[in-house]
Structure 1
Amino acid sequence: MGKGRGRMTTLYEDTNPRELRVLLEEIHNGNAVLPEFQRDFVWEPGAVAELICSVANGFPAGSILRIRNSRNHFASRGIEGAPAPQPHATFLVLDGQQRLTSLYQALFGTGPFRYFLDIKKLIEGANIDDENVVFYHRAERQHAKAFLAEGQGTDAREIAFQNQAKNLIFPLGYLEGSLHAFNTWKGRVLKYNLTENNGNEMLKLNDALDDIANRYIAPISAYRFPVVTLSAETSAEAICTIFETLNKTGIKLSPFELLTARFFPQGIYLRDLWSAAQEKYPIIEEFQLDPYTVLQAVTLLATNPATLKRRVLMDLKGPQISENWDRTVEALAQGLTFLGEECGIMTPKWLPYGSMLVPLAAVIAKNPIAAAGPVAGARREKLRCWFWRASLGQYYDSAANSKSQLDYEQLPKWFGGGVAPDSVSSFQFKTAELNQVTPRQRAIYRALMCLVMSNGARDFHSNQSMTAALMRANEVDDHHLFPLAFLKESDRRNPKAEFDNVLNRTLIDAKTNKSIGANSPAIYLAPIDEMQGRSQVDAILASHGIEGQTRDALRAAEYRSFLENRRAWFEARIAQATSLPGQPSVEAA
């Protein structure tokens, strides 16, 4: 027991409060830095302004945890907005990064925003935490430049100061944590105003500025954060564990960021690996994926029996990551390309379940689908069936990790001639309920929209095939074919759900949707016909599954007939998409 206590006493170097001024100087001098695995600065400027008010009022703002860095356990990086750090910085900040970065940028005038104090409002009786007493502007905006002339000539700086003096606006970036900077500014303001005010008014202004300095500026400079400094003898493993525990509260880190901390001592730099993956495979970046997806797929590949239990994932070793990362990333890119080309998923918005990507990547890593030939072709055919059945059957609505594990185990057996996986064999879909599917049922709604896209849906505005780039450029989104306002006016008896279902929606660009407005299809299609030609518009409608009697009902604004006929189109498409390879299409229930 004594030996254990002896080890514990080396954990803390000290637990003494530190003045904010000193902490900011350490950052500015490059002696306080972040471990490379720390997350980026994410605070919004409004939160920074609130923190400044709390500090000025002397309110508690949490504690700081850091470690003396003499053993250089981790690669490090500087605080965002601060000068380049020293090669061997004195302290690594483990907890308090967001607050220290906020205060450094605000009080040293760096980063994307500049913060100001409206002293005139304070003199008139406002409190510092009242609205717009502490305010901010983007550094490059004219509002900020009116009071600051960063990087400009003497004349511009003088004009900016005159604006400060006239309006009694103090740039908080002047402070650099010191009361002296405010006193220097105050002297210049008094001298400027002396030419326009009499002596009594000057005395009042001087007293008012002194009062502001004592009430708000001095407390900022003298503010003391509780600081816990860990001993340099603290092990890398202990640091990671502490870091993970701390960051499960407050601004939560993603699992990937926690794992970045866990793997760093093993020489696995997940940030670098993820950046390289996005650069090599742009589709991964386009889909805005959480890199945790890759780690989950790696876990399936690296464990036997395969599992996605968090405990197992957190216990992965460096070689398991190194051996499986590259092939998993390549397989993920292949999977996303496959989903876009053969399942109509052009953008991340239309992916029914992000969790499906985990078994998809792991399965493709061991069973490639990119090569030509009958083997890869048969795998692609079965993966198409799997995607549609798992999505339309809402298979991943619950227990996603367990079901990912099952699919990883069962899909390859199906490829080899075995029975279909549970995700495929358990499929059920009641097409009679199509008119009840709305955007709120996200997965099934997205899958049905993907059916439309996989039908070769074309853009109403350009008549081009849908691509991710076109959808972004033309702001293509899902909209009503019969506008809600038109339906509510013409059919008041039925609830909104009767109008907002998937049968009444398709993918329409922003310009066309604006022209549709609240008009009847019989009205809004006429100018589109005139501009593009009726036959071309009919071809575009057909690409969205609106042809024959469905198209005629749309053009005649016969809503009930339109729903009935479009349901028939969806039923046929669902039956085709979900048919088992080698078997004829079977109508869904």
Structure 2
Amino acid sequence: MFDSTKTSLHDLLTQAARGHIKLPDFQRGWVWDDYAIRSLIASVSQSFPVGAIMMLRAGGELTFGTRQLEGTPKTAKDTETLLYLLDGQQRLTSLYQALVSDDVIATKNVQKQEIKRWYYIDMAVALAGGDREDAIIGVPEDRISRSAFGRDILRDLSCDEKEYAACMFPLNKVFNADQWMMGFFRHWGHAPDKSEFWFAFANTVLAAFNGYHMPVITLDATSSRGAICTVFEKVNSGGKKLDSFELLTAIYAGSGFNLRSDWLGGRDTDRATGAEVITEGRLARLGDFDVLSDLGNTNFLQAISLLHTRSRRLSDLRSGKSETDAASVSCQGRAILALPLDAYRTWADRVETGFKLAARFLRRRHIYWVKDVPYHTQLVPLAAILALLGERWEQDAVQRKLAQWFWCGVFGEFYGSAVESRFAKDVIEVPAWIEGGPEPSAVRDFQCRIDRLESLRSRLSAAYKGVHALLMQQGARDFRSGQAFEEAIYFDDNVDIHHIFPKAWCQTKRIPKSLYDSIVNKTPISARTNRILGGSAPSAYCHRLETSEAVAREPLETHLRSHGITPTLLRSDDFDRFFEDRRENLAVMIERVTGKEVYRGVERDEEALDEAAE
């Protein structure tokens, strides 16, 4: 699969200059700063190891879009690629620009400010045997270092004679030092001590550069996509993590398709007019929906992979293949990496529409904000299913089944881990169920215990967010205004989930935190109403709503009941009876939307029992 050897630094940089070594398009840009460059040069000048580089031989099944190493000649762009540089870009690019290029290096200082530098080695300091990094000097583009806001000149290397006089050797001459050496001798009148000084420098420092070899691991051209992705992630721990999207971007670029531009948008050329046009990417279009603002490019590819592999499996089954022999439905990394460009083009628009429909589906469940989405992972199979259904998703019978599947996933807490196998089942089973088949496993296997409601305290919990949305969907109204929590009201009135029995009151009554912070004691309330409730007993804030806010008793009790709250229990300030009653009411709400029974075998939360005993 690979071979490992050592290759001279000079040969590697020569191959890069000729364009035989190029970067696959998933590689990030060159980003090393001035300090990193000087430190690297110092290590090489002392023959210290700087790590192996990894390359892939070209000519296999994978044809990447490529780009030349930054700073190499423009002619390198059109030269045949023999090797793809997978790991080592930062080091090779830095060494090429510092040791070979005739152009000034554009980099950054430690303050991340953009600077331009030429690199030199102070010959005397290098031979003195101190810290070699002290001998590596960077100077500005005009080769003059200044201080005192540019008034005082510290070092002037603006011509060859000044370099000779200062004994400052330009590092981009290390592989071709003869001409500079002759100029150095002439400048010093061939003085014996300077000749001796030069040869001491050449035989130690320059010899280190010319004799430097780097370990090179070269993957065979037959290496698979998955193997390359895995290897890259293992060896590139200090750089950008390679994901399926980046690798597919490079693969598709080999066929002339820019996946990154398709996703992010960018500049393109109109084929008819030749004019430059700015295209909007799918991410921007999907970003119009707040609930999709955390959607990643890998999620998008997962949905496409699900639909592509589903189509292949159904085709195999129709052709007579057995369940075992038919293609598997998958959206795991290897399946995504095997996604043909034709499949991407076939499904991308439909999947984009599927995610937009998913946003509309969530809005109907009163989920308006990205942080309120119970499971972002569940959006992948939802979008894939909606892409298949198209306009049929609006049909009442379809809506009811989709909603049941969705809520079973939320309250069954199915999408927290090992989700790819669940996705694969969903895209096969849910459409079949809609067509009259058996219940999908996400519905059939649903389980929820009533005591789970007691332990839901974190906003990070999918079921916690599910209860919040379900209350609004079921018609909860603000205690004060009586308004339903439609989208405009939700944002305009700053609706959030708040305590029913206020936290301050619960603390004075020594009610365990694990109980008063439970979702059972929380409900959606507008910011203004929550300020009115304050830290008072429920009986007190109900009275305040009726007097100061002129909310009549009967409408107020209607508003309370819309939250699953029994008014008499709230007004009596009886937390224990309220808690048991509302927990039951929430369980009934969950049963209503999942179509399944909530198990009521009571196992009180251990943390709550411990706190109550204290």
Distance (whole Å) between structure 2 residues aligned to residue 82 and residue 483 of structure 1: 67
Q: Which residue of 1 aligns with 2:146?
A: 188
Q: Report the counterpart of residue 425 of structure 2 in structure 1.
A: 406
Instruction: Quote the residue 1:277 is aligned against.
Output: 282
Evaluate the alpha carbon distance shift between residue 300 and residue 377 of structure 1 in structure 2; reply closer, same or farther with a 3 A threshold. Answer: farther
Superposed CA offset, 1:403-434 (max 9, x none): 32222222223212232222112222222442
Q: Output the amino acid matched with 2:411.
A: L
Partner of 1:361: 383
**Are 1:575 and 2:585 counterparts?**
no
Residue correspondences, number: 484
Query: Could you say which residue in structure 2 is the equivalent of 1:175?
Result: 117
C-alpha change, 1:564 and 1:182, in structure 2 (3 Å) is same
Alignment pair present for 1:256 and 2:245: yes
The residue type equivalent to 2:373 in the other structure is L
Give the CA deviation at 1:561.
4.7
* Paired position in structure 1 for 2:174: none
Match of 1:352 in 2: 374
Q: How does 1:446-461 map to 2 (within 5 A)?
A: 446-455=465-474
SS of equivalent residue, structure 1 residue 414: helix
Alpha carbons of structure 1 residues 364 and 239: separation in structure 2 relative to 1, 3 Å: closer
- The reply on whether 1:16 has 2:4 as its aligned counterpart is no
| Structure (1 or 2) with the greater helix fraction | 1
SS in 2 for 1:94: strand
Please state how far the C-alpha of 1:78 moved relative to its aligned partner. 7.7
Say if 1:476 and 1:510, in contact at 8 Å, map to a contact too: yes
In the TM superposition, 1:38-187 aligns within 5 A as: 38=26, 40=28, 55=40, 58=43, 62-65=51-54, 73-76=63-66, 88=78, 93-97=85-89, 115-116=109-110, 136=111, 173-178=115-120, 181-182=138-139
Structure 2 Cα separation of the partners of residues 521 and 485 of structure 1? 9
Shift in Å, 1:377: 2.3
Q: Secondary structure at the residue paired with 2:364?
A: helix
Q: 1:543 to 1:388 in 2, by over 3 A?
A: farther
How far apart, CA to CA, are the structure 1 residues paired with 2:532 and 2:485? 21
Provide, for residues 558-588 of structure 1, a one-character-per-residue CA deviation record: whole Å limited to 9, x for no partner: 54354344324422321221237xxxxx676
Give the aligned residue type for 2:233.
N
Greater displacement, 96-105 / 294-303: 96-105
2:611 equivalent in structure 1: none
The structural deviation recorded for 1:439 is 1.7
Structure 2: distance between partners of 1:384 and 1:194:
74
In the TM superposition, residue 380 of structure 1 has moved relative to its aligned partner by 1.3
Structure 1 position 277, deviation (Å): 2.6
In structure 2, relative to structure 1, the CA distance for the partners of 1:103 and 1:441 (3 Å cut) is farther
Q: Does 1:301 align with 2:310?
A: yes
User: Structure 2 counterpart of 1:277, which letter?
Assistant: R
Which amino acid in 2 is paired with 1:175? R
Shift of 1:174: 4.3
Deviations 1:413-466 (A, max 9, x none): 321223222211222222244212222872322322221343456789997845
Equivalent residues in 2 for 1:518-533 (5 A)?
519-520=535-536, 533=549
What is the TM-score normalised by the length of structure 2? 0.59
CA distance in structure 2 between the aligned counterparts of 1:103 and 1:520, rounded to whole angstroms = 69
Call closer, same or farther: CA 1:508–1:13 in 2, change over 3 Å: farther
- 2:307–2:347 CA contact under 8 A, matched in 1: yes
User: Does 1:563 find its partner at 2:563?
Assistant: no
* 1:497 and 2:488 matched: no
Instruction: Name the counterpart of 1:160.
Output: none
Q: Does the aligned pair in 2 maintain the 1:484–1:518 contact within 8 Å? A: no
Matched residue of 1:352: which SS?
A: coil
After superposition, residues 376-415 of structure 1 pair within 5 angstroms as 376-397=395-416, 399-415=418-434
What is the aligned partner in structure 1 of residue 293 from structure 2? Answer: 286
AA in 2 matched with 1:182: V
Distance apart, 1:258 and its partner CA? 3.5
Q: Distance in 2 between matches of 1:360 and 1:69?
A: 39
Q: CA deviation at 1:95?
A: 2.0
In the alignment, structure 1 residue 335 sits paired with structure 2 residue 328 = no
Structure 1, gaps ≥5 residues long: 117-135, 140-149, 151-172, 196-209, 581-585
Deviation at 1:402, TM superposition (A): 2.8
Q: Distance in 2 between matches of 1:511 and 1:79?
A: 59
1:167 alignment counterpart? none
Displacement of 1:390 in angstroms is 2.1
Deviation at 1:383, TM superposition (A): 0.4
Asked if the contact 1:344–1:454 (Cα under 8 Å) also holds between the matched residues in 2, the reply is yes
Residue 384 of structure 1 and its aligned partner are, at CA, apart by 0.4
Contact 1:61–1:225 under 8 Å retained in 2: no
Identity %: 26
Change (3 A) 1:430 1:69: closer
Match of 2:24 in 1: 35
Contact kept in structure 2, 1:262 and 1:314, CA below 8 Å: no
